[in-house]
Chain A
Amino acid sequence: MRAAPVLLASVLVLVAIEGAVFHTGVYPWIVSPDSSTGYVETMLRNERLRPKAGPQVLGIGDSRMLLLPRISNEHTAETGYTFGSIATAGLSPRSWYYMLRDVDPDARLYRAIVLAVESYDDADTLGDPADNDADLSYLIARLRLSDLWEFSRSFHDPSRQWKAARGILLKGLVYKRDFEDLLLHPLYRVHYAKQSRRDSFSWFYDYQGPPDTVADYRVDWEARTLTAPPNADPARVDGLKTRLLAPLPPESGQQSRYLKYWLGKIQQRYRSSPTRLIFLRLPRGGWIRPDQPRYNPHSSVRELAAQPNVTLMDEHFFDSLEKPELFRDELHVNGPGMDRFSLMITQEVSRILGPPR
């Protein structure tokens, strides 16, 4: 037995198995619906399979983009538009780009895509958004070998670049935790994945949102204190304190560079398509801290607004929702807040787009 051909054959068989299982839809078919990958896969699959009669509008964003298509589509008869959403907790524009590429391969499927951003000023966040390696877990089933260079290079930290590159090449490395979980309960997993494929559309579509509010909390800006009700959830208290009272992250420009690159790529993708990109600024919270980020005339979205297919919704359009009784924690609107938020988006997007032609 000669060594070189046998070793080469071993590598080829490994590549073939890796490719057949992880670089196709085989493994994503049974990935845990509760995992990062599984959540994104569920959202994308539901959106791909959703019947699309008539002009379509798609919402995208993170967990705060609580557009409920159920509410929007109650008004389809008036507006003429059907809404969908692939907004997913924890995702940022880098992930949005790859998700949009998946659900809209020809960049012509939607009349509008509504992108929800935290701020129109590219306010910096703690940590470099480019180095959020959770994106790799979220997107692994959607990443292709041709994405290897750009996706891995989009991280700044070399160890994350390496992790991303090897993850795209050997996807099993990224699915590792999920695979171990599969080994623990294989039959349950197969059953749960099947159930998710069958029912998850209605799980999301019929979502009502929680009734909780933060109305019984008090903020004293002078004393920089938060008063919580008795028996308050400590995690919620901590979240509110961090959001409202912690110093703002220093201005580093990292967020702006990140958003300009990835929102710019999304815009480029749709530059010659009939799809309009509509940006909205998310409601900021139940209370608005006095030290808001500095106005940035050269922010990513303000510069993109100069493009013919891009529209910015009024920055203060959702100010009326910024009340404690409409928020369930420091970031997210509650059930009634979601209803109003969804209705406002529906009406404003329909107004921007005008009646369907």
Chain B
Amino acid sequence: MLFNTPQFFAFLLVTLALFYLSPKPARRWILLAASYVFYMSWNWRFVPLLLSLTLIDYVAAIWMERVEAARRRKIFLVLSLAANLGFLGFFKYYNFLASILAEALRKDPHAFALSIVLPLGISFHTFQSMSYVVDVYRREQKAIRDPIDYALFIAFFPQLVAGPIVRAGEFFANYYQWMPPGSEERLRGVLWILLGLAKKMVLADQFAQIADSYFQNLAAHPGAPAAWSGVGAFAMQIFFDFSGYTDMAIGMALLLGFHFPVNFRRPYLAFSITDFWHRWHITLSRWLRDYLYIPLGGNRHGALMTYRNLMLTMLLGGLWHGASWNFVIWGGYHGALLGLERVLGRKHFQEQPHWLLYPFRAAITFVLVCVGWVFFRAATLTDSMYVIGQLFSWHGKGILIPAWLGFLLALSLAIALLEERFEWIERLARGPAWAYVAAVVALLLSVELIGVTEKAIPFVYFQF
């Protein structure tokens, strides 16, 4: 059940109706049931996996809270993390590691491969679950006593499959002091959902067709203009796809009375790679910072260790996205760029440049990010190197992005710049009714007339 299908909207309406028509004590049951129905609509066979992980972390957290001895608490923490990483490792990385082993033993790369289906959203809900366990271990979060509450935190359908990765503290603060959304929140919720839907169907899915046609047949599109438009199209696809999903998740949560953290803040307006990572997949960056970079030592042990920690964090962040060397290189590439920015002077890359310099800095950052996306999208390392070569080949012709999509992109950029300056999307729900109505109608018409509706294209991040 994809977010961009009529079935999902029917499901959402039924869930909202049941939620608000039920007495308060029953509402969490409604949400939990809806979340499991949503999960089962993908593959019911993985329900025991989700239940097991929920149960393991639920029990581990309670035991950790009860036990005072640090060593025993650590044992529970390690057991819980081992279970989470074990499941994640098996489902996501087994075949990758098996192929490395096979190559090391000079065997067929598929010699030890298994036919494994990746459970939906496993990367997201295990990270969410692990953050909870670590927080309890650190005494930053109380263990949740009610298993239904905890199960809902893990399975809550708006963010189950692709985030945002919500911290337990954020979720339960909202949950235990739940208030029905007011008019403004309802309007904001609807607007976020429609904005996300338009980002996905109007922009991401249109750009996906261009990116796919380029990356699936590289030989047919030689030269720099085709390469830049193919890579640029993918850059747009992945941003609008993922941020579209997140916007919808935030909107749905708002309609249910929950406030999710922002996950994207116009990342292609970033003026440095450091700034980019403050704007792109913010909840993952935050997770990696709090549960990997800082525990590794962060920047507390000298420059060399800082670069090592930065690189390790980004390499693992890359690997989190997928089990292939391409993702590792992508992570390493960003780690190297972040390190380079530190070497060149952190201040320059964290503070907004003068407005005259800003467009150049943003353009350079965008180009650097696009080069990274090549590793993210290309099927193999060989393809990646070929595309990189084409990007800087300075020959060829044939831009793949049609003029009307270029116009839409320019419009999106204008909207993003206005949003950056005035945050007008948030203000719409508080502004005059005519402005809100105009925005909603424009979004719906764009989905109707330009959106890809012939087939529902899955969200890119669902594969992670």
Contacts and interface: CB of A to CB of B under 8 A. Distances in A.
A184 interface: yes
A13 interface: yes
A9 B433 contact: yes
Interface stretch (A108-116, A171-179, A212-220, A259-267): A171-179
B27 to A, nearest CB: 19
Contact of B430 (A1, A17, A179): A1
Interface in B410-461: 429-433, 436-437, 440-441, 444-445, 448-451, 453
A45 B65 CA distance: 79
B183 A2 contact: yes
Contact of B433 (A6, A166, A175): A6
Interface residues of A, number: 23
Interface in A142-167: 162, 166
B286 interface: no
A168 to B, nearest CB: 13
B314 to A, nearest CB: 39
A7 interface: yes
Interface of B: 6, 183-184, 186-187, 190, 402-404, 407, 429-433, 436-437, 440-441, 444-445, 448-451, 453
Nearest to A176: B449
Nearest to A183: B404
Nearest to A166: B6
A242 interface: no
Contact of A180 (B404, B436, B453): B404
Interface string A1-26: 11101110110011001100000000
A7 B453 CA distance: 23
B204 to A, nearest CB: 16
A18 B444 CA distance: 11
A126 to B, nearest CB: 23
A170 interface: yes
A3 B183 CA distance: 5
A184 to B, nearest CB: 5
Given A7-B190, A180-B450, A184-B403, A1 B436 contact: yes
Given A9-B437, A180-B404, 5 more contacts: A2-B183, A5-B433, A7-B190, A172-B448, A176-B453
A65 to B, nearest CB: 30
The dominant DSSP class at the B interface is: helix
Contacts of A18: 445, 448
Contacts of A6: 187, 433, 436-437
A182 to B, nearest CB: 9
A3 B448 contact: no
5 contacts: A10-B441, A14-B441, A166-B6, A176-B448, A180-B450
Contacts of B433: 1, 5-6, 9
A172 B449 contact: yes
A14 B187 contact: no
Contacts of A7: 187, 190, 440
Contacts of B440: 7, 10, 14
A3 B407 contact: no
Interface of A: 1-3, 5-7, 9-10, 13-14, 17-18, 162, 166, 170, 172-173, 175-176, 179-180, 183-184
Contact of B449 (A2, A3, A5, A175): A175
Contacts of A3: 183-184, 186-187, 190
Contact of A176 (B6, B187, B437, B450): B450
A184 B407 CA distance: 10
A183 B405 CA distance: 9
A184 B453 CA distance: 19
A14 B436 CA distance: 13
A1 B184 contact: yes
A7 B431 CA distance: 14
Q: What are the 7 closest A-B residue pairs judged by CB atoms, nearest first? A: A183-B404, A10-B440, A3-B186, A172-B448, A3-B183, A10-B437, A179-B449
B54 to A, nearest CB: 34
A173 B449 CA distance: 6
Nearest to B206: A180
Contacts of A5: 433
A3 B428 CA distance: 12
Nearest to A12: B437
A183 B407 contact: yes
Contacts of B450: 176, 179-180, 183
A79 to B, nearest CB: 48
A10 B436 contact: yes
Given A1-B430, A180-B404, A173 B448 contact: yes
B31 to A, nearest CB: 21
B403 A170 contact: no
Count chain B CB atoms within 10 A of each CB in A3, A162, A173, A175 and give the residue with the most.
Answer: A3
A120 B402 CA distance: 48
Nearest to B434: A9
Nearest to B451: A176
B261 to A, nearest CB: 23
Contact of B441 (A13, A173, A176): A13
Interface centre among A5, A10, A18 (most CB of B within 10 A): A10
Contacts of A173: 448, 453
Contacts of A184: 402-404
Nearest to B255: A3
A14 B402 CA distance: 27
Nearest to B189: A3
Contacts of B430: 1
A139 to B, nearest CB: 18
A17 B441 contact: yes
B367 to A, nearest CB: 27
Contacts of B407: 183
A223 to B, nearest CB: 40
A37 B6 CA distance: 26
B167 to A, nearest CB: 29
Nearest to A181: B404
A152 to B, nearest CB: 14
B446 to A, nearest CB: 10
A173 B6 CA distance: 14
